[in-house]
Structure 1
């Protein structure tokens, strides 16, 4: 009962603090609001688990997850390297790079736009649990097959956004470049590619989340004895839910850092765009 009361008090204090901080238009207040919200959420989680005596098999407390995190840091690091650095990051770079090059070719030849983009929409709609086993059989059980799954998942979202961005310039802007006797490649480099950057980064941010999801899910269909997906599937079978949640924490931190890194690069590259004003 003490834990439940403490959880209610902390929740009320956190709500009061966030309401007051949200009225302040400073960078410190903007940073403090999510931090306070996260800390309150973790404490309330701990209070609910301990106050109601919830079984660790159903929902382990944050303190238990933190203890397992410290005990299994070596295993978690190996899984991080296997899944995030080898599978997700490699597939992300290859898939996004291929998508950007293909977008330029599609933009250059209109018949490819009409033929390839409908196919892209069809492939993007395919469920990952359908294509992952096939790619695992094609490329083997190591990280290469996971990278292949990530390539398939990120290629078409980036392609569609890049093609849309390259077509976003106005007729007046294109006429002005022709007035300056600029050829296709000059117009692409000086006008259309910079104008497409907000669209491209939108696709890159979407792909950053898809990459990690694809790599983890693909490991459920075949993997060596390391990897976040492998560890989650085996730990669930052994009822080691604290280790499962520790892997989820690693995945959440990696995904947030991945997305945040792309967002920071976007802010530096598109500082001139109206969407970046006031940030």
Structure 2
């Protein structure tokens, strides 16, 4: 058996020595970034060429969009609008987390709550959020309160479903063993259930960030024109296509930054579980 292990180790060493250079993780990262940058350059060059030589006014040249983007940044219009959108997003996200995590833990750990509430949660999760816009407009109004409510609705069920799944992933045998040894309910949750549920809960929180961003912008577009949604709507209403596309790109970049930050927090929150 020892000889088999030695042979296996020797084979692995030989294979690693004969591995092609581009098969190393570092090489793959370099190739990945090179391909990504090349694709972006090709797309932007094609966009610039078509916008300059084409006859479709709805597709301006990339440099025109870039100029409109820079004007929106320098003038402060995009940044001021982003501040309002982020306020709506943060408030809605905080409400969603405050509701979804405790409810998810309860539904995931209680047979009664699971039988009563889980079908309702899944039904609401599968329902398009846009259907609730008239209801939210009636009961909460069209201003900040309504936009925050719609944002919370966009992400609350995503976080709740992930939390339920995380709680259910706790090892039943370990819970039963702890109960047999007289562990208190609080000890079972703090030592077994919460550590087991944490990875899926954090994943739900990360995905919820993206959905909260979508919810905030959607509320500003469909519920009441405000902030980034108002910038997009006004540019479209006056057919200012470069500014319209610049605003859309700004929203995309803002969402990308938020998701990157959420990913960093996720790795730090769950990194100790993989040590």
TM-score range (shorter-chain normalised) is 0.7 to 0.9
- Aligned partner of 1:256 in structure 2 is 256
Is the contact between residue 82 and residue 143 of structure 1 (CA under 8 Å) also seen in structure 2?
Answer: no
Question: Which secondary structure does the structure 2 equivalent of 1:271 belong to?
Answer: helix
Q: 1:140-197: CA deviations, max 9, x gaps? A: 3322211101111211111111011111122332234335532222111111111112
Kindly report which structure 2 residues correspond to 1:22-101, keeping only aligned pairs within 5 A, or say none.
23=23, 25-26=25-26, 29=30, 30-50=32-52, 52-56=53-57, 58-73=58-73, 74-83=76-85, 85-101=86-102
Instruction: Check whether the contact 2:64–2:242 (CA below 8 A) recurs between aligned residues.
Output: yes
- RMSD of aligned Cα (Å): 2.5
Aligned to 2:56, the other structure's residue is in SS state: coil
- Give the superposition deviation at 1:95: 0.3
Q: Give unmatched runs, 5+ long, in structure 1.
A: 1-20
1:136 aligns with 2:137: yes
Corresponding position of 1:121: 122
SS in 2 for 1:169: coil
Aligned length: 252
What residue number does 1:104 align with?
Answer: 105
In the TM superposition, what are the counterparts of 1:220-235 in structure 2 within 5 Å?
A: 220-223=221-224, 226-235=226-235
**Separation in 1 of the partners of 2:35 and 2:144?**
38
Aligned-partner SS, 2:265: helix
Give structure 2 stretches of 5+ with no counterpart.
1-20
Match of 1:216 in 2: 217
Counterpart-to-counterpart distance in 2, 1:210 and 1:229:
16
Question: What SS does structure 2 have at the residue aligned with 1:181?
Answer: coil
Name the CA shift for 1:25/1:37 in 2 (closer, same or farther; >3 Å): farther
Residue deviations 1:1-42 (CA, integer Å, cap 9, x gap)? xxxxxxxxxxxxxxxxxxxx9755218625454344333332
Q: Is the 8 A contact 1:162 1:200 kept in 2?
A: yes
Summarize the alignment of residues 167-182 of structure 1 with structure 2, pairs less than 5 Å apart: 167-182=168-183
Query: Residues 142 and 223 of structure 1 are in contact (CA less than 8 Å); yes or no, is this contact kept in structure 2?
Result: yes
Q: CA deviation at 1:272?
A: 4.4
- Name the TM-score, length of structure 1 as normaliser: 0.80
| Structure exhibiting the larger radius of gyration computed from Cα positions | 2
Query: Could you tell me the TM-score, scaled by structure 2's length?
Result: 0.82
